[in-house]
Structure 1
C-alpha cells in the first residue's frame, strides 16, 4: 500500500472532518501555547499533509524560476537542482495537554510492597499489577511517517516478511502447522480487541502491558497499520499505547514500561511512524535514568540494595530493540555496556553456571540459579552482543535438559494464583536462547516445544493455563515462541553489526528544470 493510501486510511479512523475543523478554528483562537492551540496547529499540518505542503513548495519554486527567466537569458539546457524539504512533523508531546488524565501522571505509578527475597511458589516472575487504565482520549496520536530512507527490513529483522519468513520457517525447523497456529491466535487477538485498542475485556491483568505484548506478536509477523487483514488492529494498539504514555515518558510499572518500550521500538523500526519514535525515545530515556549504577534494575526502578533480573530482562530487550531501530539517545551505549557487566558479574552464579532471580547490586551471585532466570540471562547477553561468552555457554548447559510439556488441565479460575501451571514465561526465554545458539540443543528443544505449545491451543485460537496472568498474557507468549523462527536472525548467522538508520540528506531529492 502506498504511503498516501496508508495516510488516508489512518485519517479515516479519526473523528469526523466537521468536528476536527470546529476544533481547529476554536484552537486557533485560543491562547497561544495552550493545549487547544497546539492541537489546532497539529491538525493543520495533518489536514494539509506532507505531500500537499511539498507540492505547494514545489509550485513556489517553479514560479520563482519563471520570474527569474523573464528577466534573465537562460540557456535551454541549463539544469537547476532544488532540494525539496519535508516539513517537520509536529511532535506528539506538543498536544499531550489534550490528554488530561494521562498528563497528570507526572511520576511513575506507586509500587506495591515487594519482599526482597525471591517468591517461593514459582520459578516465574511476580504477577504484573492489575493497573486500571482509562480509555485513550479522543485526540488520538497521528501515525505520521518520518522522512527517513529505509532499504527494506534490515539486520536481525530481515526474516519477518513474505518469502523471507517462509524461508526461515524451512531453514530453522518451523512448520505449516505452527504458522497456522500463529495466524489463528492473531485472529483471536483481532476479534477480541476492545474499541480503544486494548484487550482489557478478555484479560484484566494490565491493559497496557497486554497491549504491548499483543503488538509485539503482530510486529513479529510483519503486520503494520497498512496490512490488509490486521492493519486496523495494529493501528488501534499503537494509538492506545502511545496515548498511555505519561508526560515523563513512563508507561506504567516496571514490567509494563519495559514491554511497551520494546513494542514502540520494534514498531518504529518497521513503520518509521514518528509518534512511535517519540514514544520510544522517551521510554528509553526513562529506562536509562532508572538503571542502577551497577547496571541492573529493580521494582519501581528503585536504586536500592537489590536487583531483580526478571525486571531487568524486559528493560534489556527494550534497549536492544531501540538500538536496532536507530535510537540516538546519548546514554544508550553506556546503558547496554553496564547491562552486560551486570549480567556477567552480578546476576550470573558461577557456582552453578546459571543466573539468579535477585541479589545485591555490585556483588557476584553465589548460588540460587534458576532455569527461568538462566534462560532470561542467556538471551539478554545474546541480544546485547555477547553470544559466545562463558556465561552464555554455561547457562545453556544449565538449561540443556529442560522439558516442555503442556498440561491441558485448565487452572481453577477461583484460585489466587496460577503459579505452577505451564511455565510459559520460562519457555518464552528458553526458546529464544536455544534458537539463538542453534545446533543440536535447539533441534531437540524445537521438536518438543512446538508440538506441546500447539497442543495446548484452544479451538478459537487462544491459550489458557499459563503460569501467570490471563488469556492474553498466555496467548501472546505462546505466539512469540512460535514466531521464533523468523522474529530475529539467530546470532550465529549475524556476521555484521546492525547498521543504524540514518536520516536522508538533502541531496536525495532533486528537481531538474530545463
Structure 2
C-alpha cells in the first residue's frame, strides 16, 4: 500500500520559499568564506611584504685664513625623528639632494652592562654595522639609543649616570655652537689644528645623535662636515698644517668624525652630502697607506720603522679605522680588518708588567696616561680579552679611585688628565662589571663639577698636547669632557651578547 501526501498549493509555495532561503543562505556562507579566505591571504601577503624595522650602534689656522664654505640649507617640516615612533618622519634637503626624503628611526633594544661582562671584553656587535645576525645591514643598535631622549635617559640611569649628565651635555653642545667659526670649523690659533678640533666637536654632536636633520644643531653639524669635506677635496690629508709632525693626529681625528657622519647619513637615509663618501674613502686610504710595518703609526705619517712611532698616534688612527669599518667604508688601499690586526700586534708590545702601557714599544717610556689608549685600541681591534688588555683594565680598576678636576700637575697625574680619562672611560664601559662601576663613580661627578654655568669646562686641568693652546685647547677640553659624559649611550658595553640587568 502506498501512502501519498497530497500537498496544497500553499504548502508547495512555502516549501519553495524555504528552499530559496536555504539556497541563499548557503550562497551567502560560501561567498563569506571565500571573502574571509581572500582577506586572510591578503593580510599574509601584506605582512610578508612589510620589511622589518632595521636595528640601528666602539669619535688650527689663523682666523679668516679660509673663505666661508657655502653650506647647503637644511629644511625640516617636523622635529627630528625619534626612535620611540616608527612613523616619525623628517624632510630634509641637504647638499646636492634634489628631493625631500622621509627618514624613519625604528625602535630597538640594547643590552646593558652587568657583572656578567667581567669576562669577554671585546666591543660587541652593536659597535659594528648590522644586526649581529650576519645580515650586514641596518643601523648599528647603539646609534638608535642616541636618538631618542627617553632611550638615552634610560641608558644613562641604568649605566650609573644621572639626569645632570644629559643636562651637562646639552649645555656643552650649546656652548660649542657659539664657538663655531664662520667657515664651519672649530679651533683657532696659533697652530691651526682646525681639522682635529672640528672632528672632536662633530664627534660630540654625533654622539648625541645631532645630525644635519637636527632642529637645534643641524646647521652646525652640516657646516662642520662641509668644512672637513672641503679640506679633503683640496688636500691629500685632512689638515691645514700638513707639514707638521702632528698631521697624523689632525687627519686621524677628522677622519674618525667623517666616518661616523658618513654612517649616520647613509644608514638614516639623509640625502648625500656632496663628496662625503669620496673624501671618507680617500682619508681612510691615507691612514692605511701610512701604517708602519710593525702595526703602529708615526708622526708625519712616515710609514717606515722610525723613532716617531708611538701608541698615542696609533690610538687615534685605530679609532678612525674602527669607525670606517663600522660604517661599511670600502677603501682602495687595503683591508681595514687586516690593518686593525696589525695594530693589535703593535699595542701588545707596549704593555708593561704592572698594566701601564709605554709610549713606544718594548717598554720605552711607560705612562699611566696611555693605559686607556692601549686597552681601548685592543678592544676596538677585537682583542679585548688579551692578557695585555686585562692587565690594563686591572691597573685602571686599582689605580683610578678618584678623579678631582684640576688637582695635581704633569702628564702622569691620574686625577685630572682628561686625555687619559677620555680613553679609560670608554675602556671601562666596554668591559662593564666592577671595572665600570668603580670608574663611573670616579669620573661622573668630577666632570659634572668641572662645568661652569655657561656650559664650558674649567681650564685648570692637565694632560693636553703641548701643541695646543688658546681657542683650540678650550675646544679640545670641552669635547673630551662631553664625550666622556656621552659614553653612557655611545657604545655597547662588553660583548653585547644578550646580557641582562642584574
User: Do residues 437 (structure 1) and 431 (structure 2) align?
Assistant: yes
Answer yes or no: is the 8 Å Cα contact 2:71–2:222 preserved in 1: no
Describe the shift of the 1:352–1:167 C-alpha distance in structure 2 as closer, same or farther (beyond 3 A).
Answer: same
Q: Tell me how far 1:171 sits from its aligned partner.
A: 2.0
Deviates more, 1:277-286 or 1:366-375: 366-375
Name structure 1 gaps, 5 residues minimum: 1-129, 360-364, 412-416, 497-514
Answer yes or no: is the 8 Å Cα contact 1:354–1:369 preserved in 2: yes
Describe the shift of the 1:395–1:219 C-alpha distance in structure 2 as closer, same or farther (beyond 3 A).
Answer: same
Distance 1:145 1:395 in 2: 47
Q: How does 1:104-183 map to 2 (within 5 A)?
A: 130-132=60-62, 134-136=65-67, 138=69, 143-144=95-96, 153-162=139-148, 163-183=150-170
Q: Tell me how far 1:138 sits from its aligned partner.
A: 4.4
User: Do residues 424 (structure 1) and 425 (structure 2) align?
Assistant: no
Answer yes or no: is the 8 Å Cα contact 1:249–1:279 preserved in 2: no
The partner residue of 1:319 within 318, 321, 332 is 321
Answer yes or no: is the 8 Å Cα contact 1:158–1:489 preserved in 2: no
Answer yes or no: is the 8 Å Cα contact 2:61–2:188 preserved in 1: no
Distance 2:407 2:312 in 1: 27
Answer yes or no: is the 8 Å Cα contact 1:355–1:373 preserved in 2: yes
Residue 330 of structure 2: aligned partner:
328
Deviates more, 1:401-410 or 1:435-444: 401-410
Answer yes or no: is the 8 Å Cα contact 2:407–2:461 preserved in 1: no
Describe the shift of the 1:203–1:485 C-alpha distance in structure 2 as closer, same or farther (beyond 3 A).
Answer: farther
User: Do residues 343 (structure 1) and 340 (structure 2) align?
Assistant: no
Describe the shift of the 1:471–1:367 C-alpha distance in structure 2 as closer, same or farther (beyond 3 A).
Answer: closer
Q: Deviations over 1:70-114 (max 9, x none)?
A: xxxxxxxxxxxxxxxxxxxxxxxxxxxxxxxxxxxxxxxxxxxxx
Answer yes or no: is the 8 Å Cα contact 2:145–2:151 preserved in 1: yes
Secondary structure of the residue aligned to 1:357 is strand
TM-score (norm 1): 0.63
Q: How does 1:203-352 map to 2 (within 5 A)?
A: 206-245=193-232, 247=234, 249-252=236-239, 253-272=247-266, 273-274=272-273, 275-302=275-302, 303-306=304-307, 307-329=309-331, 330-344=334-348, 346-349=349-352, 351-352=353-354
Q: Tell me how far 1:156 sits from its aligned partner.
A: 4.4
User: Do residues 373 (structure 1) and 370 (structure 2) align?
Assistant: yes
Q: Deviations over 1:362-394 (max 9, x none)?
A: xxx146432221110101111122221211111
Q: Tell me how far 1:244 sits from its aligned partner.
A: 1.9
Residue 403 of structure 2: aligned partner:
405
Describe the shift of the 1:204–1:473 C-alpha distance in structure 2 as closer, same or farther (beyond 3 A).
Answer: farther
Q: Tell me how far 1:218 sits from its aligned partner.
A: 0.1
Answer yes or no: is the 8 Å Cα contact 1:355–1:377 preserved in 2: yes
Number of residue pairs matched by the alignment: 355
Secondary structure of the residue aligned to 2:357 is strand
Distance 1:309 1:154 in 2: 28
Describe the shift of the 1:286–1:396 C-alpha distance in structure 2 as closer, same or farther (beyond 3 A).
Answer: same
Answer yes or no: is the 8 Å Cα contact 1:462–1:475 preserved in 2: yes
Answer yes or no: is the 8 Å Cα contact 1:382–1:491 preserved in 2: no
Which structure: larger Rg? 2
Answer yes or no: is the 8 Å Cα contact 1:136–1:243 preserved in 2: no
Answer yes or no: is the 8 Å Cα contact 1:418–1:466 preserved in 2: no
Q: Deviations over 1:122-179 (max 9, x none)?
A: xxxxxxxx55583255455873469999976314434211033222112211210011
Name structure 2 gaps, 5 residues minimum: 1-59, 73-93, 106-136, 240-246, 267-271
Distance 1:381 1:176 in 2: 31
Residue 472 of structure 1: aligned partner:
475
Describe the shift of the 1:136–1:244 C-alpha distance in structure 2 as closer, same or farther (beyond 3 A).
Answer: farther
Residue 187 of structure 2: aligned partner:
200
Answer yes or no: is the 8 Å Cα contact 2:371–2:392 preserved in 1: yes
Describe the shift of the 1:198–1:321 C-alpha distance in structure 2 as closer, same or farther (beyond 3 A).
Answer: same
Residue 389 of structure 1: aligned partner:
386
The partner residue of 1:488 within 482, 491, 494 is 491
Distance 1:260 1:409 in 2: 30
Secondary structure of the residue aligned to 2:297 is coil
Describe the shift of the 1:203–1:495 C-alpha distance in structure 2 as closer, same or farther (beyond 3 A).
Answer: farther
Describe the shift of the 1:317–1:201 C-alpha distance in structure 2 as closer, same or farther (beyond 3 A).
Answer: closer
Q: Deviations over 1:328-383 (max 9, x none)?
A: 12422211121122212x2233x333321113xxxxx1464322211101011111
Distance 2:407 2:237 in 1: 38
Q: Tell me how far 1:195 sits from its aligned partner.
A: 1.7
Distance 1:176 1:409 in 2: 26
Q: Tell me how far 1:270 sits from its aligned partner.
A: 0.8
